[in-house]
Chains A and B, each alone.
Chain A
Amino acid sequence: GAGVSQSPSNKVTEKGKDVELRCDPISGHTALYWYRQSLGQGLEFLIYFQGNSAPDKSGLPSDRFSAERTGGSVSTLTIQRTQQEDSAVYLCASSSPGARLYTGELFFGEGSRLTVL
Protein backbone atom coordinates (compact mmCIF):
# COMPACT_ATOMS: atom_id res chain seq x y z
CA GLY A 1 0.00 0.00 0.00
CA ALA A 2 0.93 3.65 -0.26
CA GLY A 3 0.87 4.43 3.44
CA VAL A 4 2.13 3.06 6.75
CA SER A 5 0.16 -0.04 7.67
CA GLN A 6 -0.29 -1.28 11.25
CA SER A 7 -1.84 -4.45 12.57
CA PRO A 8 -3.86 -5.37 14.43
CA SER A 9 -5.96 -2.24 14.57
CA ASN A 10 -7.40 -3.39 17.89
CA LYS A 11 -6.08 -5.89 20.40
CA VAL A 12 -7.65 -6.91 23.68
CA THR A 13 -5.54 -9.07 25.93
CA GLU A 14 -5.39 -10.26 29.50
CA LYS A 15 -2.91 -8.96 32.01
CA GLY A 16 0.28 -11.01 31.90
CA LYS A 17 -0.01 -12.07 28.26
CA ASP A 18 2.52 -11.11 25.58
CA VAL A 19 1.45 -9.08 22.54
CA GLU A 20 3.04 -8.30 19.19
CA LEU A 21 2.19 -5.25 17.12
CA ARG A 22 3.27 -4.98 13.50
CA CYS A 23 4.23 -2.02 11.34
CA ASP A 24 4.74 -1.97 7.57
CA PRO A 25 6.44 1.31 6.67
CA ILE A 26 6.18 3.12 3.36
CA SER A 27 8.31 1.31 0.80
CA GLY A 28 11.81 2.78 0.63
CA HIS A 29 11.59 4.60 3.96
CA THR A 30 14.69 3.82 5.97
CA ALA A 31 13.62 5.39 9.25
CA LEU A 32 10.93 3.86 11.45
CA TYR A 33 9.53 5.13 14.74
CA TRP A 34 7.25 3.71 17.42
CA TYR A 35 5.20 5.94 19.71
CA ARG A 36 2.71 5.29 22.49
CA GLN A 37 -0.33 7.50 22.99
CA SER A 38 -2.34 7.05 26.15
CA LEU A 39 -5.95 8.23 26.18
CA GLY A 40 -6.14 11.97 25.74
CA GLN A 41 -2.36 12.38 25.80
CA GLY A 42 0.40 13.32 23.38
CA LEU A 43 2.93 11.07 21.68
CA GLU A 44 5.48 9.27 23.83
CA PHE A 45 8.56 8.26 21.85
CA LEU A 46 9.49 4.60 22.25
CA ILE A 47 12.12 3.52 19.73
CA TYR A 48 13.72 4.60 16.45
CA PHE A 49 15.32 2.56 13.66
CA GLN A 50 17.45 4.09 10.93
CA GLY A 51 18.85 1.83 8.23
CA ASN A 52 21.42 -0.60 9.57
CA SER A 53 22.34 1.55 12.57
CA ALA A 54 21.75 0.40 16.13
CA PRO A 55 18.23 1.43 17.16
CA ASP A 56 17.65 4.26 19.60
CA LYS A 57 15.83 2.50 22.43
CA SER A 58 15.96 5.41 24.86
CA GLY A 59 12.17 5.77 25.04
CA LEU A 60 11.29 2.21 25.96
CA PRO A 61 9.57 2.39 29.37
CA SER A 62 10.73 -0.98 30.70
CA ASP A 63 12.51 -4.17 29.70
CA ARG A 64 9.11 -5.69 28.94
CA PHE A 65 9.12 -3.66 25.74
CA SER A 66 11.24 -4.60 22.74
CA ALA A 67 11.17 -4.05 19.00
CA GLU A 68 12.77 -5.54 15.95
CA ARG A 69 13.03 -4.46 12.36
CA THR A 70 13.74 -7.27 9.95
CA GLY A 71 15.31 -6.66 6.57
CA GLY A 72 15.10 -2.93 7.05
CA SER A 73 11.37 -2.95 6.46
CA VAL A 74 8.69 -4.48 8.68
CA SER A 75 8.92 -3.84 12.41
CA THR A 76 7.39 -5.68 15.35
CA LEU A 77 6.87 -4.14 18.78
CA THR A 78 6.61 -6.78 21.50
CA ILE A 79 5.23 -6.19 24.96
CA GLN A 80 5.81 -9.02 27.41
CA ARG A 81 3.73 -9.70 30.51
CA THR A 82 1.34 -6.89 29.69
CA GLN A 83 0.04 -4.64 32.44
CA GLN A 84 -3.10 -2.52 32.52
CA GLU A 85 -1.01 0.65 32.24
CA ASP A 86 0.21 -0.59 28.85
CA SER A 87 -3.26 0.12 27.45
CA ALA A 88 -2.80 2.77 24.78
CA VAL A 89 -2.66 3.38 21.06
CA TYR A 90 0.69 2.40 19.59
CA LEU A 91 1.60 4.47 16.55
CA CYS A 92 4.23 3.71 13.96
CA ALA A 93 5.75 6.26 11.61
CA SER A 94 8.29 6.17 8.82
CA SER A 95 10.38 8.70 6.96
CA SER A 96 13.09 8.88 4.32
CA PRO A 97 16.09 10.82 5.66
CA GLY A 98 18.18 9.84 2.66
CA ALA A 99 15.81 11.30 0.11
CA ARG A 100 17.08 14.21 -1.93
CA LEU A 101 14.10 16.35 -0.96
CA TYR A 102 13.86 15.13 2.63
CA THR A 103 11.75 17.48 4.72
CA GLY A 104 11.76 15.62 8.02
CA GLU A 105 8.12 14.66 7.62
CA LEU A 106 6.95 11.64 9.52
CA PHE A 107 4.21 9.53 7.95
CA PHE A 108 2.05 7.80 10.52
CA GLY A 109 -0.10 4.72 10.49
CA GLU A 110 -3.51 4.70 12.10
CA GLY A 111 -2.21 2.90 15.16
CA SER A 112 -2.90 -0.28 17.08
CA ARG A 113 -5.22 0.17 20.04
CA LEU A 114 -4.18 -2.13 22.88
CA THR A 115 -6.48 -2.84 25.79
CA VAL A 116 -5.14 -4.87 28.70
CA LEU A 117 -7.86 -6.26 30.95
Chain B
Amino acid sequence: TQLLEQSPQFLSIQEGENLTVYCNSSSVFSSLQWYRQEPGEGPVLLVTVVTGGEVKKLKRLTFQFGDARKDSSLHITAAQPGDTGLYLCAGAGDMRFGAGTRLTVKP
Protein backbone atom coordinates (compact mmCIF):
# COMPACT_ATOMS: atom_id res chain seq x y z
CA THR B 1 0.00 0.00 0.00
CA GLN B 2 1.35 3.37 -1.01
CA LEU B 3 0.67 5.86 1.78
CA LEU B 4 0.01 9.51 1.02
CA GLU B 5 0.43 12.25 3.60
CA GLN B 6 -1.28 15.56 3.06
CA SER B 7 -0.50 18.84 4.76
CA PRO B 8 -1.73 20.99 6.25
CA GLN B 9 -4.75 19.11 7.55
CA PHE B 10 -6.74 22.32 7.94
CA LEU B 11 -6.30 25.75 6.35
CA SER B 12 -8.45 28.83 6.86
CA ILE B 13 -7.61 31.95 4.88
CA GLN B 14 -9.15 35.20 3.69
CA GLU B 15 -10.39 35.72 0.16
CA GLY B 16 -7.61 36.92 -2.10
CA GLU B 17 -4.77 35.13 -0.31
CA ASN B 18 -2.52 32.55 -1.93
CA LEU B 19 -1.96 29.08 -0.53
CA THR B 20 -0.14 25.83 -1.16
CA VAL B 21 -1.07 22.35 0.01
CA TYR B 22 1.09 19.27 -0.21
CA CYS B 23 0.85 15.57 -0.89
CA ASN B 24 3.87 13.46 0.03
CA SER B 25 4.83 9.81 -0.06
CA SER B 26 7.88 7.64 0.34
CA SER B 27 6.73 5.65 -2.70
CA VAL B 28 7.01 6.46 -6.38
CA PHE B 29 3.76 6.95 -8.28
CA SER B 30 3.27 6.47 -12.00
CA SER B 31 0.77 9.30 -11.81
CA LEU B 32 -1.09 11.20 -9.15
CA GLN B 33 -4.52 12.77 -8.96
CA TRP B 34 -6.06 15.66 -7.07
CA TYR B 35 -9.75 15.70 -6.20
CA ARG B 36 -11.91 18.37 -4.56
CA GLN B 37 -14.92 17.53 -2.44
CA GLU B 38 -17.48 20.19 -1.68
CA PRO B 39 -19.87 19.82 1.27
CA GLY B 40 -22.61 17.27 0.64
CA GLU B 41 -21.08 15.98 -2.57
CA GLY B 42 -18.67 13.31 -3.72
CA PRO B 43 -15.08 14.15 -4.70
CA VAL B 44 -14.49 15.38 -8.25
CA LEU B 45 -11.26 14.99 -10.17
CA LEU B 46 -9.34 18.22 -10.72
CA VAL B 47 -6.21 16.98 -12.45
CA THR B 48 -3.91 14.04 -13.13
CA VAL B 49 -0.15 14.62 -13.20
CA VAL B 50 1.95 12.02 -14.93
CA THR B 51 5.48 13.22 -15.66
CA GLY B 52 8.05 14.01 -12.98
CA GLY B 53 8.48 17.78 -12.75
CA GLU B 54 5.22 18.38 -14.59
CA VAL B 55 3.28 21.56 -13.92
CA LYS B 56 -0.38 21.86 -14.83
CA LYS B 57 -2.53 24.94 -14.52
CA LEU B 58 -6.29 25.02 -14.12
CA LYS B 59 -7.32 28.68 -13.96
CA ARG B 60 -6.05 29.86 -10.55
CA LEU B 61 -4.89 26.37 -9.53
CA THR B 62 -1.34 25.20 -10.26
CA PHE B 63 -0.40 21.56 -9.75
CA GLN B 64 3.15 20.30 -9.64
CA PHE B 65 4.46 16.74 -9.63
CA GLY B 66 7.83 16.24 -7.99
CA ASP B 67 10.82 15.24 -10.09
CA ALA B 68 11.02 11.90 -8.30
CA ARG B 69 7.24 11.39 -8.61
CA LYS B 70 6.88 10.95 -4.85
CA ASP B 71 5.18 14.23 -4.05
CA SER B 72 2.89 16.87 -5.43
CA SER B 73 1.69 20.33 -4.55
CA LEU B 74 -1.38 22.39 -5.29
CA HIS B 75 -1.05 26.18 -5.30
CA ILE B 76 -4.12 28.41 -5.40
CA THR B 77 -3.72 32.04 -6.35
CA ALA B 78 -6.15 34.67 -5.07
CA ALA B 79 -8.37 32.15 -3.30
CA GLN B 80 -12.12 32.61 -3.48
CA PRO B 81 -14.92 31.32 -1.21
CA GLY B 82 -15.85 28.90 -4.00
CA ASP B 83 -12.50 27.17 -3.48
CA THR B 84 -13.68 25.99 -0.07
CA GLY B 85 -13.64 22.22 0.21
CA LEU B 86 -11.63 19.12 0.98
CA TYR B 87 -8.64 18.59 -1.32
CA LEU B 88 -7.60 14.96 -1.69
CA CYS B 89 -4.72 13.31 -3.49
CA ALA B 90 -4.48 9.71 -4.69
CA GLY B 91 -2.27 7.60 -6.86
CA ALA B 92 -4.05 7.26 -10.20
CA GLY B 93 -5.81 3.92 -10.31
CA ASP B 94 -5.04 3.34 -6.62
CA MET B 95 -7.81 2.80 -4.13
CA ARG B 96 -6.50 4.82 -1.24
CA PHE B 97 -6.53 8.55 -0.72
CA GLY B 98 -4.58 10.87 1.49
CA ALA B 99 -6.45 12.24 4.51
CA GLY B 100 -6.98 15.53 2.70
CA THR B 101 -6.59 19.23 3.36
CA ARG B 102 -9.75 21.00 4.45
CA LEU B 103 -9.67 24.52 3.03
CA THR B 104 -11.95 27.33 4.15
CA VAL B 105 -11.82 30.64 2.30
CA LYS B 106 -13.56 33.44 4.16
CA PRO B 107 -15.13 36.31 2.22
Q: Which of A43, A48, A56, A97 contacts B43 (CB 8 A)?
A: A43
Contact B40 A105 (CB under 8 A): no
Chain A window 96-115, contacts with chain B (Cβ cutoff 8 Å), 1 for yes, 0 for no: 01000001111011110000
Contact B97 A108 (CB under 8 A): no
Contact A105 B33 (CB under 8 A): yes
Count residues of chain B with CB under 8 A from any CB of chain A.
Answer: 24
Tally of contacts, chain A with chain B, CB under 8 A: 51
Contact B95 A108 (CB under 8 A): no
Count residues of chain A with CB under 8 A from any CB of chain B.
Answer: 22
Q: Which of B42, B45, B100 contacts A42 (CB 8 A)?
A: B100
With known contacts A43-B88, A105-B48, A91–B42 Cβ distance under 8 A: yes
A33 within 8 A of partner (CB): yes
> Could you tell me the distance in whole angstroms from the C-beta of B84 to the nearest C-beta in chain A?
14
Contact B95 A33 (CB under 8 A): yes
A6 and chain B: residue at smallest CB distance = B42
Chain B window 34-53, contacts with chain A (Cβ cutoff 8 Å), 1 for yes, 0 for no: 01000011111100100000
Which B residues form the contact surface with A (CB < 8 A)?
6, 31, 33, 35, 40-45, 48, 86, 88, 90, 92-100, 102
6 examples of A-B residue contacts, CB within 8 angstroms: A42-B99, A43-B100, A91-B42, A104-B31, A105-B45, A109-B42
